[in-house]
Amino acid sequence: MRKLRVLIADDHEPVRSAIVQVLSNAFKIVGVAGDGEQLVDLALSLNPDVIVTDIFMPFLSGSEALKQLTAHGCDIPFVLISVNPFGADELIRQGASAFVDKCDIATELAPAVHSAALGHSYVSRTACAKWRIASDLDKYPPAALWSRATGLS
């Protein structure tokens, strides 16, 4: 079975390395970018199955990269990562597939990438907790909770 091809972007090298380490067993890492401009260039040339990107990066943010790639006709699922989930619901409405708090990278990034590749929305547990809806986590898996919280599926 072919591994999903993933492009990673984060402006902090230790975070990029950690993401590569977390994802490299389950996915084929096709590229790594240190800023949003590199992300757009690599996405256009490599055509990955999923993009994992920090929201806040120099030159071009992850959300601006999403907008540029969408304008180029690219329909690549985006998994956004950040320590600040506020505003992520709007980014999902604008086309991102998932949001993973950086605290959850080790445990929830791979499921988020799989979910995004299948066309589903996903939000990590820490992001949910930061939105003060953590009491529902025992009743709903993160993807269902995200749908419930945002009205998106």
Eight-class DSSP state of 96 = -
Residue 13 lies in a domain: yes
The predicted pLDDT at position 136 comes to 45
Residue 130 lies in a domain: no
Query: What residues in the chain have per-residue pLDDT under 70?
Result: 86, 131-153
Residue 54 lies in a domain: yes
Convert the pLDDT of each residue in 124-144 to its tens digit.
Answer: 888 877 765 434 444 445 555
The predicted pLDDT at position 132 comes to 52
Convert the pLDDT of each residue in 81-94 to its tens digit.
Answer: 988 776 777 777 77
Q: How many domains is the chain built from?
A: 1
The predicted pLDDT at position 28 comes to 97
Residue 12 lies in a domain: yes
Residue 70 lies in a domain: yes
pTM: 0.83
The radius of gyration of the chain from alpha carbons, rounded to an integer in Å, stands at: 14
Q: What's the CATH number where 20 sits?
A: 3.40.50.2300
- Name the residue range of residue 27's domain: 5-120
Residue 139 lies in a domain: no
124: nearest Cα among 81, 95, 70, 90:
81
The predicted pLDDT at position 13 comes to 94
Q: Could you tell me the CA-to-CA distances from 10 to 51, 74, 75, 146 in Å, in that order?
A: 11, 20, 20, 24
Residue 148 lies in a domain: no
Residue 138 lies in a domain: no
